[in-house]
């Protein structure tokens, strides 16, 4: 054992601080936390903590336990302390684990898990060996504690356990040991054994798969174990096997399916939840659809029954109260992550290459290709928002039904039509509520099959908004949101009056409900309706705004944050219609009132600024009376944030400042630039420090989201007030060019996107053959072409690079045209699916200008060029004329050659070229 011994004064100081930490007063706690953090600079701090945990048996167990948890939280210090301190700390913790009362042993167990994770088992083999030996201990409590450590370690870092040490693989003897212990008379030991084994499935551990048949036999044997924890781990193991090695389960699938159906109905919800995960995993794998299909008729009704609220849920939800006047607990409010503004292009959804539909994920969200980057959260919040409890059986069943709907569509509806009708029209409110949840869960996948029934179902849902039970009203809101795209279709006046208007009115009533859960669901569903309805909302703007503004006075803290989203989404949806003075007078007073009450470091300022960014763009010049204080405050927040970050860089002991305030202030300034254009000139002129000087600092900021929003602001200032930006562009263009990277790290992709977009905006504003911009053309093209050609660059980056190449080519064709053969095909492939808009139009005019300057440059890419042309729905008159001239020119130059080449094109391209351009 190490010779390290504590110094009495140091020991007493740390001990007293830990004793003081038991004080619950928050101001005391803050001081104690700061003091404890300062101890981490003491070279042997972790040894003192280990000594308190292990040696001070006369000390209160709570103090010793806190020392143990501080040791776990500071485990990374093991990597930097002296060998003597590290050896003492490790041996002391093992000693505490072997010979201490349960509370201290438990804390020591957590330390061992953390230490093994940091050091890795290969560097602490003694510990691994001692733990394995303890599994045979005559002391059942020590046996179980050792296995508990193994279970946590195998769960947290299975790959670190699956290694070779001195020529042997510990798992080669641990796996057979775990298999043997799955027969142990103690239920906890059997549970740990099955759990430990299962965690090596996802990493394809060869040590486990060498015993795969014995493992599967063990699972079948334990499947009927009387202990629910064992059965839960059996279900978990089967789920992991289905995901990693489905071929091993297929020969026994009829038995496995029977067991999982039975377990999905288990009275113990933790067992039922793990079994339900099996169906979710099964449905998510398209390769297993053929095996799942025959089971659909049995699985889907079981999932439907799992979606009824349990008694525990109802107790937790306290759902029947009119609680609109009850202040929220701060713990109810989830932290929000603001990612900053990203410039992207909308793809045309009317056609899909090769007839492929866009891929849909578990909750109907588009799944991303592996290389796709955007700031998507792949944990879709649809079901998480609908029920704010933890992941549970009801939520898992709804998610599984959603994926089954995507996978099997109308066949699922055929199976569930009878049971679903029974639930929707049941006298029991809990049954009705679960039926409405199921209807919403199936919306994306079954929409075509459900659509004929929506003329009945939508009025049913609208009527359900009058239900006396808040949980029924809230789920009806959520499900109406899932069918908002159908309700908002501008099919006819009759459709609008029967479905769109009543849905809008019903959801607005729910926005003002007296139950906070219903308010939240109503507000979220109304935001979805706004996105889908877009300009269709314009005739109803006044009553919509009055409802939303009334909600500001009614809502507590949490729902106010959701209301900001709804207002911002409304502004995005209706655009410049919001600049009507009546609407400005309704909306701005409550927003400015809240703005005035919040300090510059209040977290609630972030969603309000985000909301105002959308409002400023929509109101445009009508926002002018409110612009000065908002502009000045944003500039001040940017300035203060940069100063705080500078202080942090000079003193890393300080907490890193939250970048969100800086990012969202830059985005609101972008909104002002878009909305007000040159009206910003006097505001920029009278602020100190000058915004454009601050902007150049932001462009160099170490944090990518700050640069991302700064690049967006450059592009928006170029569009709205170019003359103010121009004097600063030499410094700015150098930073933008530097950011253009063909294979950026994931966290830099959005920043790179915005840089690629903004250089195109700047090029356009300079104008044709402008000498000052010419100096940057070659450096930019040298960066943008590799991005366009890089197979691993995200699609959005390909698109923005292509648009900017086109725009730079439009302004400087003689410099760019010689490069046309390098990028023509990739350029056309990047943009042919993009929806018609001005950006795409200017980019294509640039490409046509390049083709005019270098006709031979398009020769090898003519098919792709023609495909991109015929994908346009409504090109501008100027662009359409350029298409006509180029196509006619190709034909007249070599009519026989042209005819022969066009004959090789797909029929749809031939037909459209002939119909539109006569070639």
Confidence of residue 341 (pLDDT cuts 50, 70, 90): low
Residues pairing with 347 in the sheet = 834
pLDDT at 391 over 60: yes
pLDDT at 358 over 50: no
3-state class (DSSP) for residue 658? coil
Q: Environment class of residue 244 by beta-carbon count within 10 Å: exposed (0-12), middle (13-18) or buried (19+)?
A: middle
What whole-number distance in Å separates Cα of residue 137 and Cα of residue 146? Answer: 10
CB burial readout 337-364, b (16+ within 10 A) else e: ebbbbbbbbebeeeeeeeeeeeebbbbb
**Average pLDDT, integer, range 742-748:** 84
Other CB atoms within 10 Å distance of the CB of residue 707: 26
What whole-number distance in Å separates Cα of residue 615 and Cα of residue 671? Answer: 8
Other CB atoms within 10 Å distance of the CB of residue 518: 27
The CA–CA distances, whole Å, from 527 to 460, 517, 549 equal 21, 16, 14
pLDDT value at residue 359: 28
pLDDT value at residue 718: 93
Q: Environment class of residue 757 by beta-carbon count within 10 Å: exposed (0-12), middle (13-18) or buried (19+)?
A: buried
pLDDT value at residue 350: 41
pLDDT value at residue 335: 59
Query: How would DSSP label each residue in 62-114?
Result: HHHHHHHHHHHHTGGGGGTS-HHHHHHHHHHHHHHHHSS-HHHHHHHHHHHHH
pLDDT value at residue 366: 27
pLDDT value at residue 304: 95
At CB < 8 A and 24+ separation, what contacts does 180-186 make? 181/135, 181/147, 182/218, 182/221, 182/222, 186/140, 186/143, 186/144
3-state class (DSSP) for residue 699? coil
pLDDT value at residue 20: 83
Confidence of residue 792 (pLDDT cuts 50, 70, 90): confident
How far is C-alpha 907 from the geometric centre of its chain's CA atoms? 41
What whole-number distance in Å separates Cα of residue 127 and Cα of residue 130? Answer: 5
Largest CA distance in the chain: 101
CB 241 within 8 A of CB 202: no
Report pLDDT digits (tens) over 636-675. 999 999 999 999 988 877 788 889 999 999 999 999 999 9
Confidence of residue 906 (pLDDT cuts 50, 70, 90): very high
Contacts of residue 671, Cβ cutoff 8 Å, sequence gap at least 6: 612, 613, 614, 615, 616, 617, 716
pLDDT value at residue 381: 45
Confidence of residue 344 (pLDDT cuts 50, 70, 90): low
pLDDT value at residue 372: 33
Q: How long, in residues, is the chain?
A: 919
What whole-number distance in Å separates Cα of residue 209 and Cα of residue 172? Answer: 11
Query: How would DSSP label each residue in 668-694?
Result: HHHHHHHHHGGGGHHHHHH-SS-HHHH
Helices then strands, counting H and E runs in the chain, come out as 52, 0
Other CB atoms within 10 Å distance of the CB of residue 138: 6
Q: Take residue 451 and report the two structure tokens written for it.
A: 């659509």
**Average pLDDT, integer, range 387-398:** 78
The CA–CA distances, whole Å, from 511 to 319, 462, 522, 523, 530 equal 17, 14, 5, 5, 13
Confidence of residue 17 (pLDDT cuts 50, 70, 90): confident
Report pLDDT digits (tens) over 869-893. 999 999 999 999 999 999 999 999 8
The CA–CA distances, whole Å, from 148 to 109, 158, 326, 611 equal 8, 14, 42, 48
Q: What is the 3-state secondary structure (H, E, C) of 608-619?
A: HHHHHHHHHHHH
pTM of the model: 0.82
Q: Take residue 568 and report the two structure tokens written for it.
A: 């911002």
3-state class (DSSP) for residue 421? helix
What whole-number distance in Å separates Cα of residue 844 and Cα of residue 833? Answer: 13
Query: How would DSSP label each residue in 552-595?
Result: HHH--HHHHHHHHHHHHHHHHHHGGGGGSHHHHHHHHHHHHHHH
- Identify which of 490, 578, 568, 486 has the alpha carbon closest to the alpha carbon of residue 529: 486
pLDDT at 726 over 60: yes
What whole-number distance in Å separates Cα of residue 660 and Cα of residue 668? Answer: 12
**Average pLDDT, integer, range 315-333:** 69
**Average pLDDT, integer, range 523-551:** 95
Confidence of residue 376 (pLDDT cuts 50, 70, 90): very low
What backbone torsions phi and psi does residue 269 show, to the nearest 5 degrees?
Answer: -65, -30
pLDDT value at residue 887: 93
Confidence of residue 182 (pLDDT cuts 50, 70, 90): very high
3-state class (DSSP) for residue 360? strand
Among left, alpha and beta (phi > 0; psi -120 to 50; other), residue 7 is beta
Confidence of residue 318 (pLDDT cuts 50, 70, 90): low
Q: Environment class of residue 815 by beta-carbon count within 10 Å: exposed (0-12), middle (13-18) or buried (19+)?
A: middle
Other CB atoms within 10 Å distance of the CB of residue 657: 19
pLDDT value at residue 316: 72
**Average pLDDT, integer, range 121-128:** 91
Report pLDDT digits (tens) over 457-490. 999 999 999 999 999 999 999 999 999 999 998 8
Output 310 or 620, whichever has higher pLDDT: 620
pLDDT value at residue 128: 92
pLDDT value at residue 30: 73
pLDDT at 377 over 70: no
- Identify which of 510, 280, 292 has the alpha carbon closest to the alpha carbon of residue 395: 280
Mean pLDDT of the chain, nearest integer: 88
Angle at alpha carbon of residue 799, lines to 794 and 804, rounded to 5°: 125
**Helix runs in 307-353, H state only:** 311-317
pLDDT value at residue 364: 26
**Average pLDDT, integer, range 346-360:** 39
Confidence of residue 331 (pLDDT cuts 50, 70, 90): low
Q: Environment class of residue 393 by beta-carbon count within 10 Å: exposed (0-12), middle (13-18) or buried (19+)?
A: buried
What whole-number distance in Å separates Cα of residue 855 and Cα of residue 423? Answer: 66
Provide, rounded to the nearest whole percent, the portion of the chain with pLDDT above 90.
Answer: 71
pLDDT value at residue 819: 96
pLDDT at 374 over 70: no
**Average pLDDT, integer, range 213-219:** 93
Q: Take residue 312 and report the two structure tokens written for it.
A: 């525990």
**Cis amide bond preceding 689, omega within 30:** yes
pLDDT at 386 over 90: no
Q: Take residue 887 and report the two structure tokens written for it.
A: 């196509």
What backbone torsions phi and psi does residue 539 show, to the nearest 5 degrees?
Answer: -65, -15
The count of C-alpha atoms lying within 13 angstroms of the C-alpha of 487, restricted to the half-sphere facing its C-beta, is 32
- Identify which of 787, 698, 695, 772 has the alpha carbon closest to the alpha carbon of residue 740: 787
Confidence of residue 156 (pLDDT cuts 50, 70, 90): very high
């Amino acid at each position: 054992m190490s010779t390290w011994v504590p110094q009495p004064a140091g020991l007493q100081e740390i001990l007293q601080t830990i004793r003081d930490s038991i004080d619950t007063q928050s101001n005391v706690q803050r001081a104690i936390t700061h003091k404890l953090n300062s101890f981490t600079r003491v070279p042997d701090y972790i040894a003192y903590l280990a000594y308190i945990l292990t040696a001070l048996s006369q000390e209160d167990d709570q103090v010793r336990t806190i020392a143990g948890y501080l040791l776990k939280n500071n485990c990374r210090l093991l990597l930097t302390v002296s060998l003597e301190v590290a050896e003492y700390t490790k041996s002391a913790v093992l000693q505490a684990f072997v010979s201490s009362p349960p509370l201290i042993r438990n804390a020591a167990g957590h330390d061992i898990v953390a230490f093994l994770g940091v050091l890795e088992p290969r560097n602490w083999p003694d510990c691994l060996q001692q733990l394995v030996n303890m599994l045979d201990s005559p002391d059942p409590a020590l046996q179980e504690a050792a296995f508990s450590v193994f279970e946590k370690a195998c769960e947290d870092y299975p790959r670190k356990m699956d290694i070779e040490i001195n020529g042997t693989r510990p798992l080669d003897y641990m796996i057979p040991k775990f298999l043997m212990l799955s027969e142990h008379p103690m239920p906890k030991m059997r549970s740990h054994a099955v759990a430990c084994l299962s965690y090596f499935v996802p990493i394809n551990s060869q040590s486990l798969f060498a015993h795969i048949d014995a493992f599967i036999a063990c699972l079948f044997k334990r499947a009927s174990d009387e202990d629910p924890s064992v059965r839960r781990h059996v279900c978990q193991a089967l789920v992991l096997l289905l995901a990693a090695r489905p071929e091993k389960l297929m020969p026994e699938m009829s038995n496995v399916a029977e067991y999982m159906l039975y377990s999905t109905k288990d009275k113990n919800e933790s067992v039922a939840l793990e079994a339900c995960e099996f169906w979710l995993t099964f449905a998510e794998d398209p390769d297993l659809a053929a095996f799942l299909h025959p089971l659909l008729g049995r699985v889907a009704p079981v999932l439907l029954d799992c979606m009824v609220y349990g008694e525990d849920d109802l107790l937790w939800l306290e759902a029947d109260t009119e609680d609109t006047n009850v202040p929220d607990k701060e713990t109810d409010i989830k932290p929000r992550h603001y990612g900053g503004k990203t410039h992207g292009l909308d793809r045309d959804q009317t056609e899909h290459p090769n007839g492929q539909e866009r891929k849909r994920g578990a909750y109907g969200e588009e799944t991303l290709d592996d290389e796709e980057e955007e700031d998507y959260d792949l944990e879709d919040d649809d079901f998480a928002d609908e029920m704010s409890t933890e992941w549970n059986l009801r939520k898992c069943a709804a998610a599984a039904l959603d994926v089954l709907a995507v996978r099997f569509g109308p066949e699922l509806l055929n199976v569930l039509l009878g049971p679903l009708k029974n639930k929707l029209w049941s006298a029991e409110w809990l049954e009705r509520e679960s039926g409405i949840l199921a209807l919403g869960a199936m919306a994306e996948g079954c929409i075509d099959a459900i659509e004929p029934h929506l003329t009945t179902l939508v009025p049913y849902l609208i009527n359900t908004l009058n239900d006396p039970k808040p949980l029924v009203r809230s789920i009806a809101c959520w499900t109406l949101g899932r069918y908002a795209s159908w309700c908002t279709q501008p099919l006819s006046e009759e459709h609008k009056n029967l479905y769109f208007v009543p849905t809008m009115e019903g959801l607005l009533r729910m926005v003002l409900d007296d139950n906070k859960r219903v308010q939240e669901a109503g507000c979220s569903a109304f935001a979805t309706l706004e996105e889908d309805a877009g300009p269709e909302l314009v005739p109803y703007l006044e009553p919509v705004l009055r409802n939303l503004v009334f909600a500001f006075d009614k809502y507590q803290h949490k729902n106010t944050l959701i209301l900001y989203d709804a207002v911002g989404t409304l502004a995005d949806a209706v655009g410049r219609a919001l600049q009507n003075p009546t609407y400005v007078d309704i909306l701005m007073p409550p927003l400015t009132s809240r703005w005035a009450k919040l300090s510059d470091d209040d977290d609630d300022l972030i969603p309000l600024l985000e909301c105002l960014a959308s409002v400023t763009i929509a109101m445009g010049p009508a926002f002018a009376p409110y612009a000065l204080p908002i502009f000045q405050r944003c500039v001040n927040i940017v300035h203060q944030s940069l100063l705080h970050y500078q202080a942090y860089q000079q003193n890393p002991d300080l907490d890193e400042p939250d970048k969100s305030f800086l990012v969202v202030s830059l985005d609101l300034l972008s909104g002002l630039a878009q909305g007000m254009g040159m009206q910003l000139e006097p505001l920029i002129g009278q602020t100190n420090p000058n915004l454009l000087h601050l902007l150049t600092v932001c462009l160099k900021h170490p944090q990518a989201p700050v640069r991302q929003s700064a690049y967006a602001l450059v592009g928006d200032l170029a569009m709205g007030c170019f003359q103010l930006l121009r004097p600063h562009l030499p410094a700015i263009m150098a930073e933008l060019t530097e950011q253009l990277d063909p294979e950026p790290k994931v966290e830099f992709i959005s920043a790179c996107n915005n840089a690629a977009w903004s250089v195109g905006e700047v090029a356009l504003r300079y104008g044709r053959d402008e000498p000052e911009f010419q100096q940057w053309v070659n450096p930019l093209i040298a960066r943008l072409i590799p991005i366009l050609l890089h197979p691993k660059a995200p699609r959005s980056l390909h698109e923005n690079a292509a648009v900017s190449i086109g725009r730079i080519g439009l302004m400087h064709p003689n410099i760019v045209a010689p490069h046309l053969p390098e990028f023509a095909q990739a350029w056309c492939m990047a943009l042919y699916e993009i929806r018609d808009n001005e950006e795409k139009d200017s980019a294509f005019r640039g490409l046509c200008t390049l083709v005019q300057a270098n006709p031979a440059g398009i020769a090898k890419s003519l098919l792709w060029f023609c495909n991109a042309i015929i994908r346009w729905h409504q090109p501008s008159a100027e662009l359409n004329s350029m298409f006509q001239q180029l196509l006619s020119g190709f034909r007249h130059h070599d009519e026989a050659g042209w005819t022969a080449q066009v004959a090789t094109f797909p029929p749809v391209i031939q037909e459209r070229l002939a119909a539109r351009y006569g070639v």
